[in-house]
Amino acid sequence: MPGRLKKIVDYVADNTVLKNLALSRMRLLVHEDVTQITEDTPDDREKEKRFLEAAKTILRRETLDIAL
């Protein structure tokens, strides 16, 4: 089911004050324009791993409570 990547992006956006800067940093970390990720973007295990790592780095958290 698609939408897992979008959930990670939304989580980062919702959990930071400077939303646009956080997403811009995420883009640099995952080498992909995360603003283009939609609900219909197909799931991808490799990408998901990179997205989660980037989210942890940006939010400075060891664990993320994303309902994937």
Partner 1 sequence: MIRMLAPGVLLTTIMGIASYFVARLHGTLDALVVALLGGMIVRLIFGRQKGFDIVIAYAKDFKDVLIPIGVILYAATINVSKTFELPGSVYLKTFISVVVLFAVALFLGKLLKLNKKTSWLTAVGSSICGASAIAITSTAVDAKEEDISNSLIAIVVAGILAVGLSLTVPFISNLGSESFAVFSGATMNQTGLVKIATSALGPLQKDLALPVKLLRTAIIPFVALIFFFITISKEGYKKNMRFLLVVLIAFIVLLGLTALSPGFAAITKIKGIKIAATIIFATAFVNLGLLVDFKTFKFQPIIVAFLAWVTAAAAFLLMA
Q: Which of residues 6-25 bind partner 1 (CB under 8 A)?
A: 17-21, 23-25
| Shortest Cβ 23–partner 1 spacing (Å) | 7
Binding mask 24-43 for partner 1 (x = CB under 8 A): xx-x----------------
Q: Applying CB under 8 A, what is the total number of residues that bind partner 1?
A: 9
| Alpha carbons 7 and 46: distance in angstroms, whole number | 15
| Shortest Cβ 18–partner 1 spacing (Å) | 4
Q: How many Cα atoms sit within 13 Å of 23 on the Cβ side?
A: 15
**Contact indicator for 17, 48 with CB cutoff of 8 Å:** no
**Contact indicator for 41, 21 with CB cutoff of 8 Å:** no
Where along the sequence are the contacts to partner 1 (CB under 8 A)? 17-21, 23-25, 27
